[in-house]
Amino acid sequence: MEIKIAQDLFENEAKLADANKERMKQRGLMAVNIMGTPGAGKTAIIKNTARLLKIPMSVIEGDPASSIDTDLLKTIGIPAYQINTEGICHLEAKMVAKALDEFEVPPRSILFIENVGNLICTASYPLGEALRIVVVGASEGDDKPFKYPDIFQTANAVILNKMDLQAAVDFNLERFYKGIQSLHNKLPVFEVSCKTGKGMESWVNWLAVQVATFWAR
């Protein structure tokens, strides 16, 4: 019975996500699900991307509590909408549907959906996104692909942030790539530092290609 409940749950989630996807597609919104550990720099990635890529962007923020990231984004002129999950460890399609009802997002734009800081359950809940990006920080160690394989397996790209700390934390790049390759051969990995700005250009160029392709469909 447990398996049956789980199947129904995930079928229902997939349906709700498809409805979001259709709704966003009709308005030309490319949704980017930003997943990662707490403190990996998800908001910093969005902030820096908005500075470099002159395409309209807005953000749905998911956190168990607080509106810290939403407040920060608004102060720098990025429209943002806060979802507080009240103890739920991931965003769900119905939360995003509600946000789409209430949040005025400009058509033909990028809609970042910053998920709750969690490398596990976020991977199992589709939101209707066009892209799934995993953000991890070098300071969290080079073993994450081995320990949390599912989220890397379902991602479209990985952003390895905080590369300015690589030497200080003895991060072994070779081991990290070995982990990635063991799961998903062609996954693009962008080594960046939000602090110094290094590496951000490659990520932004890749993202621009995805947006252009999305709009060309």
Residues near a copy of itself (CB under 8 A)? 37-40, 63-66, 68, 87-89, 116-121, 124, 136-137, 139-141, 143-144, 146-150, 162, 164-165, 168-169, 195
CB atoms within 10 A of CB 205: 12
Name the residue nearer to a copy of itself (CB basis): 150 or 202: 150
Name the residue nearer to a copy of itself (CB basis): 143 or 201: 143
CA 174 distance to own-chain centroid: 24
We find the least distance from the C-beta atom of residue 138 to a copy of itself, in angstroms, to be 9
We find the least distance from the C-beta atom of residue 209 to a copy of itself, in angstroms, to be 30
| DSSP letter (8 states) at residue 164 | G
Name the residue nearer to a copy of itself (CB basis): 164 or 214: 164
Name the residue nearer to a copy of itself (CB basis): 30 or 36: 36
Name the residue nearer to a copy of itself (CB basis): 20 or 82: 82
Q: Where are the alpha helices (DSSP H) in the chain?
A: 2-26, 42-52, 68-75, 93-102, 144-147, 149-153, 173-181, 200-216
Alpha-carbon distance of 160 to 170, in angstroms, equals 14
We find the least distance from the C-beta atom of residue 216 to a copy of itself, in angstroms, to be 36
We find the least distance from the C-beta atom of residue 127 to a copy of itself, in angstroms, to be 17
We find the least distance from the C-beta atom of residue 94 to a copy of itself, in angstroms, to be 13
Alpha-carbon distance of 46 to 34, in angstroms, equals 9
Name the residue nearer to a copy of itself (CB basis): 56 or 141: 141
We find the least distance from the C-beta atom of residue 182 to a copy of itself, in angstroms, to be 11
Alpha-carbon distance of 204 to 123, in angstroms, equals 23
Token pair of 46 as six digits: 């969005």
Alpha carbon distance, N-terminus to C-terminus of the chain: 41
* DSSP assignment string, 42-98: HHHHHHHHHHH--S-EEEEEEESS--HHHHHHHHTT--EEEEE-TT-SS--HHHHHH
What residue has token string 């790209």? Answer: 157
